[in-house]
Amino acid sequence: MSFDPTPKLPPFPERSIDLEPGWKRFETLITPQDLKEQFLFGIPLKSSLTGEEISEKTLQALITRSVSYAEHKLKIPISPVKFKDRYDYNLWDYQKYNYLQLNHWPVIQVESVKGKYPNAVDFIQFPMEWISVYNETGIFQLTPTNGQITQFFLTNDATYIPLLLGSRAQWPQLWQVTYVAGFEREKIPAVVNEYIATLAAIKALELLTSVIFPYGSYGIGIDGVSQSVSTPGPALLENRIVQANERAMELMDTIKRYYNRQLLLTAI
C-alpha cells in the first residue's frame, strides 16, 4: 500500500474539482497596491504636515498584522501551516471509523496518520487510501479497505481492531496526524481576502486621520477683519472607518458561520 500524502484538497468549495470559466472564487492575498486602489480609493495618503506619503512597506506591514488578527479572531490559519498533532484514542469514536476532530482547519492535505506511543515508537502507519477528510471542518475518519495491515486486524465486516491495545477503551495521545491547514496563497476565498483588506484599511485610516486633517477649523485675520472657517476634517475619515468596521463585522460573522461549523458524531 502507498504511504504518499493525500491529494491536495481545495478548501472552498469543499471537494470541488472544477470551476465554471469566468467565475473567480479565489484571490491572491491582498497587496499594498490593491489596498490603495480598492479599499482606500479617494483617500489622500499623504501627511498635510510633512508632505510624506504612506509607503508600500507600511501598507504591507498593516496587511501582515491584519492577517495575524484574522487568524486569531477567526481561529483558522490563513497561510498554509503544517501541523503534527497528537490525539487520544477513544474506543467509541474509534468504532465510528476513528472519528477525529482535527485541531486546525480548513485542511489542504494530510501527510501521514500514525499510531504512536508516548515513548515515540511508531506501531502503525495507516495507508492514505483509508483516509477520509472533511477539509472545511477538519473532521477526519478512516475508511478501511479489505485485507490486513501490520498490528491491525481487519474483520469480515470491515471493522479493524488494534491488537496492541487489547480491551483498553482509551489511550492518551495515541494518534499522530501530520497535515497542512490554511489557504494556498493564490486560493484565498474572496470573502476572507476582503475581510483582511478591510481590517488593513481600517488601520490605515486610523493612522492617516490625524496627519491628513490635523485641524478641524482655522481663522484668517487681515487688518482687523477676521474670518473663521470650519471643515469636516477628521470626520470624513471617521465616517469611513465606521462603515469599514461595520463591513468587517459582517464579513467576520459570515466566515465564522462557514468555517467554524462542526459536526458532532460521538457515542455516549
Per-residue pLDDT tens digits for 159-174: 454 544 555 678 788 8
| Predicted confidence band of residue 267 (pLDDT cuts 50, 70, 90) | very low
Is residue 59 within 8 A of residue 36, CB to CB? The reply is yes
Is residue 212 within 8 A of residue 240, CB to CB? The reply is no
Omega prior to 106 cis, within 30 of 0: yes
How far is it, in rounded angstroms, from Cα 225 to Cα 212? Answer: 28
CB-based burial label for 191 (10 Å; 0-12, 13-18, 19+) = middle
Average pLDDT value for residue range 57-65: 96
Average pLDDT value for residue range 189-213: 89
Q: What residues does each domain of the chain span?
A: 31-77+185-259, 81-180
Q: Using a cut of 0.85, tell me whether the model's pTM lies above it.
A: no
CB-based burial label for 180 (10 Å; 0-12, 13-18, 19+) = buried
* Integer CA distances (angstroms), 125 to 8, 18, 113, 116, 241, in order: 19, 32, 6, 9, 52
Average pLDDT value for residue range 49-64: 90
- Identify the pLDDT of residue 95: 76
- The H or E element containing residue 170 is strand 170-181
Q: Is the pLDDT of residue 215 over 60?
A: no
Taking the CA atoms of residue 108, residue 149, residue 161 and residue 129 in that order, the dihedral angle to the nearest 10 degrees is 30
* Integer CA distances (angstroms), 250 to 12, 110, 178, 188, 262, in order: 19, 32, 34, 18, 21
Q: Is the pLDDT of residue 34 over 60?
A: yes
Average pLDDT value for residue range 34-62: 88
Q: Is the pLDDT of residue 264 over 80?
A: no
Across the chain, mean pLDDT equals 78
Long-range residue pairs from 53-57, CB within 8 A, at least 24 positions apart, any chain: 54/204, 54/207, 54/208, 56/32
| Predicted confidence band of residue 19 (pLDDT cuts 50, 70, 90) | low
- Identify the pLDDT of residue 89: 85
pLDDT digits (tens, 9 = 90+) for 107-155: 999 999 888 777 766 777 888 888 888 888 899 888 876 544 544 544 4
Omega prior to 21 cis, within 30 of 0: no
With a pLDDT cut of 90, the percent of the chain lying above it is 36
Cα–Cα nearest to 54, from 29, 30, 31, 32:
32
| Predicted confidence band of residue 4 (pLDDT cuts 50, 70, 90) | low
| Predicted confidence band of residue 206 (pLDDT cuts 50, 70, 90) | confident
